[in-house]
Every structure is written in structure tokens, then in C-alpha cells.
Amino acid sequence: MKVSLFFVIAAALMMRSVSLQAADKSAGEALYKDACAQCHGPKAQGMASFPSLSGRDAEYITSRLETYRAGEKVGSNSFLMIPNATDLSDDDIANLAAFIADVEE
């Protein structure tokens, strides 16, 4: 049983890694500019009460967006992020994460 669970977890991690490698950064940039830049800034530097995303790795961004998409609260801005993440596809999240991970202030 433990061995089977190990392989399931390993396979899931490998699939996430492959999806991050295959992400379309230009699509992520377009989506970021359309949906994220108004609050997180044009270079993901953060603005007012909205946190900086620059310097975060793709796994972190992916995890947070998946959590928000699932309707789970993470912090004080969850009530803003949950509606924005609800309609994101797995590809949208991978593309955003790949773009944000490469943004430099």
C-alpha cells in the first residue's frame, strides 16, 4: 500500500513538472496583463495591499492559484483572489506560473 501511494505521488509530481516545462509564457504574460497586473503591478512588484509575486517560483504560484481556484482561503486577500481564479484552467495556471516565475523587477 505504501509503495503504491509513493508511485501515485511521484507520478503526480512528475506530471506537474512536465506541465510547467510545457507552459506557454507568452500566453501567461497576456493573461497576467489582462487579469493580474491591475493589482499586482506590471512587473508583479505588488501594489498597496496586493503582494509582490516577483521572485516566487512556479510551484508556489501554481499551488496558490490551485488553492484559490478550489475556493480555499489563504490570506486576507482570498476574497479577491478566489473569484479571479475560479475559471482558470490547468493550462492558464501553468502559463501564469511560468510567466510570473520569470518576471524580474
Mean pLDDT of 41-56: 94
What is the pLDDT, as a whole number, of residue 14?
A: 60
pTM attached to this predicted model: 0.78
Residue 71 has what DSSP assignment? T
Fold of 2-102: Cytochrome Bc1 Complex; Chain D, domain 2 (1.10.760)
Average pLDDT over residues 46-68: 96
pLDDT score of 24 more than 50: yes
The ranges assigned to domains in the chain are 2-102
Integer CA distances (angstroms), 38 to 3, 20, 83, in order: 46, 24, 15
- pLDDT value of residue 22: 80
Query: Comparing 8-17, 34-43, 72-81, which segment has the lowest mean pLDDT?
Result: 8-17
> Is the pLDDT at 94 greater than 70, yes or no?
yes
